[in-house]
Amino acid sequence: MTASSRLKDLLLTTRIIRGAQGLSLGVFQYTYYVFLYDHFGASAGSLRKLVFLFIFGDILILLLEVPTGALGDFIGRKKTIVLSLLFGTITFFCRTWICFVPSVEYSFLLAMISTTLYALCYTLFSGTFVAWLVDTIRIRGVQEGHGVLLAKSYNSMIIA
């Protein structure tokens, strides 16, 4: 297997993963908060709840980034990515289920749970994916490094 074909394999893999992330961000993430605003009553109170969810999610990501990175080093990169995908699946299930909950209180509780699960999904994946990519490049002996792959994969994410 030549270095060029090894690079193409990795490029395809990273583009598929980041493209799927871009689709989930574009289709679900951006419409989710607009839906919640309407579902919570389209008032100043619902806007406060959304701002709280934004801040809560960002604080969770900040607090979970280092421990989840250490978990990835401890249990392995593949297991951490699979765990991240599991949390992501449960997150989007919870977010979809909110549509069927008429009560604002229960919907907000479900939104808090999905925000927590999304923070776990995001932090488990963020550092582990790059570390997995760097390890794979080192093992396969690809001379170009990981910068080219990450740049092209993020390009796929933005386009998606």
How many distinct helices (H) and strands (E) make up the chain? 6, 0
The pTM of the full predicted model, rounded to 2 decimals, is 0.77
Angle between helices 3-24 and 104-140 (to 10 degrees): 170
- What was the pLDDT predicted at 159? 67
- What was the pLDDT predicted at 137? 74
Q: Where are the domains of the chain?
A: 3-159
- What was the pLDDT predicted at 134? 76
Sort 128 into a burial class: Cβ within 10 Å, 0-12 / 13-18 / 19+. Answer: buried
Residues of the chain falling short of pLDDT 50: none
User: What are the strands, taking DSSP E only, across 32-123?
Assistant: none
- What was the pLDDT predicted at 11? 74
